Amino acid sequence: MTLRISEIFGPTIQGEGALIGEPTVFIRAGGCDYRCNWCDSMHAVDSAHRHDWAVMEPDAVWAEVERLSGGVPLTVSISGGNPAIQDFGPVISLGKAQGYRFACETQGSISKPWFGALDTLVVSPKPPSSGQTVNWKAYDACLAAGTGARKVMKIVIFDDADYVWAQEVAAQYPDLPLYIQPGNPEVDPDTPVAPEDSLKRMRWLVDKVTEDRWFNARVLPQLHVLMWGNERGV
């Protein structure tokens, strides 16, 4: 069995969501079943980039994680694209045997049995600005598959319509910890992201949450965007 890998990088910190600030090595899978309007990882999504993806066996993927981490156990985050397209179960098994922790972020469109072996499953439904439509039956199947994992929801918010949608979704899943963050509209890795623009979007979202007394959502920035913009591999 082989895996299509866009990049493996780190150690760095997790820049968003429930594990923000946690030292992490990232495995970014190649391929996705979504085409979000504002995707900032098209190099891992669009099949036009498939010739840049490495075809690796699970033990080779794990060897690279070990090399980057120096053999010191930490959190490994599996992202994409949509990593649920592929079978990362063998990689997780190799890492768990050596004391590593695993997180995965997916949009919730495809469920896999290996979700149950994760420490943290981040299921991130895409709001209206993405141009995608959430299949809630598939979303629920992803949550059900994460039997042994801590399950959380993360939603990126770009505009007022996204914000209202996020409130409606949160009401459907009141027991699911929710992390919301302002979206990053800058998708060109060669164009620097102005930190003041990111902070302005963050203040906009914080103001809306506090004015509405929406106190069940945790509002976080995209820390990696503030620090490195859209630079790949950090």
CATH number at residue 82: 3.20.20.70
* Residue 5: φ, ψ to 5°: -120, 125
Residue 111 lies in a domain: yes
| Domain coverage including residue 172 | 3-228
The span from the CA of 103 to the CA of 229, in Å, is 23
What pLDDT score was predicted for residue 222? 74
Q: How confident is the model at residue 77 (pLDDT cuts 50, 70, 90)?
A: very high
Residue 234 lies in a domain: no
Give the tokens for residue 201.
């979007």
**Average pLDDT over every residue of 74-80:** 97
Residue 91 lies in a domain: yes
Q: pLDDT, tens digit, for every residue of 126-147?
A: 999 999 999 999 999 999 999 9
Who's near 97: CB < 8 A, 6+ residues apart? none
Q: pLDDT, tens digit, for every residue of 5-54?
A: 999 999 999 888 899 889 999 999 999 999 999 888 888 887 777 888 99
The span from the CA of 145 to the CA of 168, in Å, is 23
Helix (H, G, I), strand (E, B) or coil at 14: coil
Residue 28 lies in a domain: yes
The span from the CA of 48 to the CA of 43, in Å, is 8
Residue 175 lies in a domain: yes
pTM here? 0.91
Residue 178 lies in a domain: yes
- In whole numbers, what is the pLDDT of the chain averaged over residues? 91
Name the packing angle between helices 89-96 and 58-69 (round to 10°). Answer: 40
Only one residue has tokens 């992202």, namely 79
What pLDDT score was predicted for residue 45? 83
> Of the given ranges (11-20, 45-54, 112-121, 169-178), which has the lowest mean pLDDT?
45-54
What pLDDT score was predicted for residue 231? 60
pLDDT value at 162 more than 90: yes
Q: How many domains does the chain have?
A: 1
Residue 200 lies in a domain: yes
The span from the CA of 108 to the CA of 153, in Å, is 10
The span from the CA of 104 to the CA of 168, in Å, is 24
Residue 233 lies in a domain: no
